[in-house]
A = this chain, B = another copy of it.
């Protein structure tokens, strides 16, 4: 199978930094194929011990956990460049589930090769650790949000982050980015009820600050949005790893 990993996110560092030919050669031996899944389909299941790891090339999805009483928490939204399955890779099993929102194209790796990959390509191992640290950072921000921000602040914050992140991926077209989820998904992500989420969204729309409909998120006034979110507008995605 021809391997086209020139933009493979596992070596993204700065969002899809291109790889050298020898790097592609090395990655190619790790990569085992590509996978395309339809919308709303399950990619990884909590508790499963998936033999494959993925990197997102296209499309969006979400990670989630469910409580014993059935309530669902969306841990994070999944964007192009994200790495899926690290937990299954280094621990014995996945600690959350992943499903697609739109149809997605995934780069597939064999978990079994992860170890030799670490041994033979320390730079790539470092990248992986970097990805994990970035993920940890995002989760830390999310914890801060859920713990300390009000409903409006949470939504404003989420909009800002999504908008910035997708913008950094070059997916922004005059102020709008694709955000193909349901209101229920956002509610579950922010720990709010669907009804309250809806009403808060209406308020933001009415304030002419940001709007989200038909799967597109538009930010009209990033400044006020940042104010509403109690967030520094500039500090979105960490971009300059060491080395």
Residues of A in contact with B (beta carbons under 8 Å apart):
63, 65, 67-69, 71-73, 75, 86-87, 89-92, 95-96, 114-115, 118-119, 122, 125-126, 128-130, 132-137, 139-144, 146-149, 188-191, 230-232, 238, 240-243
Q: What is the oligomeric copy number?
A: 2
A128 near B129: Cβ-Cβ < 8 Å: yes
Other than A90-B241, A122-B125, A139-B140, give 13 A-B pairs with Cβ distance below 8 A: A71-B148, A86-B136, A87-B136, A95-B137, A95-B140, A96-B140, A114-B242, A118-B122, A125-B126, A136-B136, A139-B143, A146-B146, A147-B188
> A interface, by DSSP: helix, strand, loop or mixed?
helix
Across the interface, which residues of B come within 8 angstroms of A146, CB to CB?
143, 146-147, 191
Cα-based distance from A45 to B69 in the complex (angstroms): 38
A190 contacts B92, CB within 8 Å? no
Are the CB atoms of A90 and B242 closer together than 8 Å? Answer: yes
Chain B nearest CB from A191 CB (Å) reads 3
A130 to B87, CA, bound (A): 8
Indicate whether A65 sits within 8 Å of B191 (C-beta atoms), given known contacts A90-B241, A92-B240, A92-B242. no
